[in-house]
Amino acid sequence: MNIVSLLYRNAFRHKLRTFLTILGMTIAILAFGLLRTVISAWYAGVEASSASRLVTRSSISIIFPLPISYKDKIKEIKGVKIVSYGNWFGGYYIDEKNFFPNFAVEPKSYLELYPEFVLSPEQKAAFIRDRRGFIAGRKLVSRFGWKLGDTVTLKGTIFPGNWDFVLRGIYSGKYDTTDETQFIFNWEYLNETMKKTVPRRADMAGFYMIGLTDANMASDVSVEIDKTFKNSIAETLTETEKAFQLGFVSMTEAIVIAIQLVSFVVIIIIMAVVANTMAMTARERIGEYSVLKTLGFGKWHIAGLIFGESLFITMTGCAIGILLTFPAAKIFSSALSAFFPIFFVSVKTIYMDIISAVIVGIAASIIPTYRSINVRIADGLRKIG
Amino acid sequence: METKKPIVEIKNLFKSYRRGSQIIPVLQDITLDIAEGEFMALMGPSGSGKSTLLNLIAGIDKADSGTIRIGDVDITKLSETELALWRSSNVGFIFQFYNLIPVLTAFENVELPLTLTGLSRKQRKEHVSMALEVVNLSDRMDHYPGQLSGGQQQRVAIARAVVTDPAILVADEPTGDLDRVSAEDILGLMERLVHELGKTIIMVTHDPRAAKKAHIIKHLDKGVLNEYSQSAL
Neighbour count for residue A13 (Cβ, 10 Å): 14
| A293 → closest Cβ in B84, B102, B111 | B84
Query: What pLDDT score was predicted for residue B123?
Result: 94
Neighbour count for residue B86 (Cβ, 10 Å): 17
Q: Is A130 in a helix, a strand, or coil? A: coil
pLDDT, tens digit only, all 385 positions of chain A: 788 888 989 999 999 999 999 999 999 999 999 999 999 888 877 777 787 899 999 999 888 999 999 999 999 999 999 999 999 999 999 998 888 999 999 999 999 999 999 999 999 999 999 999 999 999 999 999 999 999 999 999 899 999 999 999 999 999 888 889 999 999 999 999 999 999 999 999 999 999 999 989 999 999 999 999 999 989 999 999 888 888 877 778 888 899 999 999 999 999 999 999 999 999 999 999 999 999 989 889 999 999 999 999 999 999 999 999 999 999 988 887 777 877 889 999 999 999 999 999 999 999 999 999 998 888 888 765 5
Interface of A with B (CB under 8 A): 1-3, 6, 9-10, 13, 287-288, 291-299, 376-378, 381, 384-385
CB contact under 8 A, B60 and A296: no
Residues in A touching B101 (Cβ below 8 Å):
6, 288, 291
CA closest to A5 among chain B residues: B104
Residue B166 counted as domain residue:
yes
Query: What pLDDT score was predicted for residue A120?
Result: 95
Query: What pLDDT score was predicted for residue B233?
Result: 54
| B99 → closest Cβ in A291, A296, A299 | A291
pTM score: 0.77
In chain A, where the domains are located = 3-44+253-381, 60-234
The C-alpha angle with vertex A46 and arms to A44 and A51, in degrees rounded to 5, equals 135
Number of compact structural domains in chain B? 1
CA closest to B108 among chain A residues: A1
CA distance A5 to A7: 5
Contact A166, A150 (CB under 8 A): yes
DSSP letters along A186-206, please? EHHHHHHHHHHH-GGGTTEES
CB contact under 8 A, A288 and B111: no
Q: What is the ipTM of this complex?
A: 0.89
At residue A70, what is the residue type?
Y
CB contact under 8 A, B95 and A2: no
How many CA atoms does the CB half-sphere of B23 hold within 13 Å?
Answer: 7
Residue B88 counted as domain residue:
yes
CA closest to B162 among chain A residues: A295
Strands B22-35 and B6-19, sheet pairing: antiparallel
Chain CA centroid to CA B48, Å: 18
Distance to chain A for B12, nearest Cα, Å: 22
**Across B47-118, where does the E strand assignment appear?**
65-70, 73-74, 91-94
CA distance A342 to B98: 62
CA closest to B86 among chain A residues: A296
Residue B28 counted as domain residue:
no
Res. B227: pLDDT tops 80: no
Phi then psi dihedrals of residue A239, to 5 deg: -145, 165
Query: What pLDDT score was predicted for residue B229?
Result: 53
Residues in A touching B87 (Cβ below 8 Å):
294-296
At residue A147, what is the residue type?
K
Q: Between chain A and chain B, how many beta carbons pairs sit less than 8 Å apart?
A: 69
CB contact under 8 A, A6 and B61: no
pLDDT category, B197, cuts 50, 70, 90? confident
CB contact under 8 A, B101 and A288: yes
Contact A90, A147 (CB under 8 A): no
Q: Is B121 in a helix, a strand, or coil? A: helix
Query: What pLDDT score was predicted for residue A16?
Result: 93
Reported as a single tens digit per residue, the pLDDT across A310-346 is: 999 999 999 999 999 999 999 988 887 777 877 889 9
At residue A213, what is the residue type?
T
Q: Which domain holds residue B91?
A: 37-60+79-232
Judged by CB atoms within 8 Å, which residues 24-83 of B form the interface with A?
Answer: 51-52, 55, 58, 60-61, 80-81
Contact A275, A367 (CB under 8 A): yes
Distance to chain B for A314, nearest Cα, Å: 21
CB contact under 8 A, B93 and A287: no
Res. B230: pLDDT tops 60: no
Query: What pLDDT score was predicted for residue B231?
Result: 52
Reported as a single tens digit per residue, the pLDDT across A99-116 is: 899 999 999 999 999 999
Query: What pLDDT score was predicted for residue B46?
Result: 86
Contact A213, A80 (CB under 8 A): yes
CB contact under 8 A, A291 and B95: yes
Residue B23 counted as domain residue:
no
| A377 → closest Cβ in B60, B85, B103 | B60
Judged by CB atoms within 8 Å, which residues 121-160 of B form the interface with A?
Answer: 160
Query: What pLDDT score was predicted for residue B3?
Result: 61
With 0-12 CB in 10 A as exposed, 13-18 as middle and 19+ as buried, what is B35?
A: middle
Percent of chain B with pLDDT over 90: 52
Residue B44 counted as domain residue:
yes
Reported as a single tens digit per residue, the pLDDT across B70-81 is: 988 999 999 988
Nearest to B225 by CA among B83, B6, B30: B30
Among B27, B89, B101, which would you mutate to test the A interface (most chain A Cβ atoms within 10 Å of its Cβ)? Answer: B101
With 0-12 CB in 10 A as exposed, 13-18 as middle and 19+ as buried, what is B226?
A: exposed
With 0-12 CB in 10 A as exposed, 13-18 as middle and 19+ as buried, what is B168?
A: buried
Among A381, A382, A383, A384, which would you mutate to test the B interface (most chain B Cβ atoms within 10 Å of its Cβ)? Answer: A381
CB contact under 8 A, A10 and B95: no
Q: Name, in order, each residue with C-beta under 8 angstroms of A258's C-beta and a sequence gap of 6 or more.
A: none
Residue B13 counted as domain residue:
no
CATH, residue B55? 3.40.50.300
At residue A97, what is the residue type?
K
Residue B11 counted as domain residue:
no
Which range has the worst mean pLDDT, A41-55, A319-333, B133-147, B152-166?
Answer: A41-55
Range A57-62 contact pairs with CB under 8 angstroms and sequence separation of 24 or more: A57/A206, A57/A207, A57/A208, A57/A236, A57/A237, A57/A238, A57/A244, A58/A234, A58/A235, A58/A236, A58/A237, A59/A226, A59/A235, A59/A236, A59/A237, A60/A235, A62/A88, A62/A206, A62/A207
